Amino acid sequence: MSGLRAWSARQYWPAFFYLLPAAVFYTLFVLRPLGQTAWVSLFTWDGITEGRWVGADNYSALLDDGRIPSAIAHSLVFVVFYAVFPVALGLFLAALMSRIRVRGLSFFRAVLFLPQILATVVVAVSWRWIYDIDGPLNAGLRAVGLGSLARAWLGDYDTALPAVGIVGTWVMYGLCMVLFLAGVQKIPTELYESARLDGCGPIREFFTVTLPALRGEIAIALVLTITYALRNFDLVWNTTAGGPGTSTTVPSVFVYQGAFLTHEVGSAAAISVCLTAVVLVVTGVIMRLVRGKEG
């Protein structure tokens, strides 16, 4: 038995050598910076002069910071726009495109995926123009007699957060659609034929065949989209910079402001560590739920 284990171990050694370059890269550029950030979070430091050890004071200060709860609430709103809506829309489009056969369908798939490959700055600047008081959105509303609804969408306290959220939905749904289309192509056609023989219509066929078969793809989509929603910075910063006031501020905005504007690097590092922990917990919960259902 011990000889069998030794033989098995020898068989796997080449695999470890193949993984070694990726492991070194991951350690140097992910784990090491993460450890340094956690260490910096234990100091009061302006990024230039020598830091002063404060232990967990930066973390306890976050509990007393009245801005943090509203920032977390904004992130949860973004989870709806960046994860729930794109997943639902991606499922609808994937189910629709898997059933219809029209010329040029690949072109339409590429167009729908286009927002995902555009630079975030380009997306933000484009949507700022669309949402502008004299932009296409308000011009369209005035053209159909709804000029009373026209406003500076990103400058209004009531509409700024959902306006940025809609941009996130537009960016993320293409990724979900492509993941689900790839998953649909792996589903055996015999399952669909059996469902149709049993009298299932398109809607029932989707819920009894397509949706259960896409459980793994849905989990991946949720992990990617929720992670993006929680760490979202560039889209918010380049559209509203957290404004008006603090109506679109999220934790990552405080990280940027603390590190580069107010020079409170220790506090910014503490927020980063907490945000990383939240993302890891959410990811772990989603994967555990999926594995539990598969088991």
Q: What is the per-residue pLDDT for 24?
A: 92
Cβ neighbours of residue 123 under 8 Å, at least 6 residues apart? 115, 167, 170, 171, 235
pLDDT tens per residue across span 195-229? 888 887 888 888 888 888 898 899 999 999 999 99
Distances (CA, A) of 34 to 39, 41, 197, 213: 9, 11, 55, 36
Distances (CA, A) of 185 to 100, 108, 210, 218: 14, 17, 10, 15
Percent of the chain whose predicted confidence (pLDDT) is above 70: 93
What are the residue ranges in the chain where pLDDT is below 70? 1-12, 101-102, 104, 291-295
Contact (CB, 8 A) for 230 and 282 = yes
- pTM for this predicted structure: 0.86
Domains of the chain by start residue, with CATH: 51-294 (1.10.3720.10)
Q: What is the per-residue pLDDT for 7?
A: 46
Q: What is the per-residue pLDDT for 49?
A: 87
Q: What is the per-residue pLDDT for 294?
A: 58
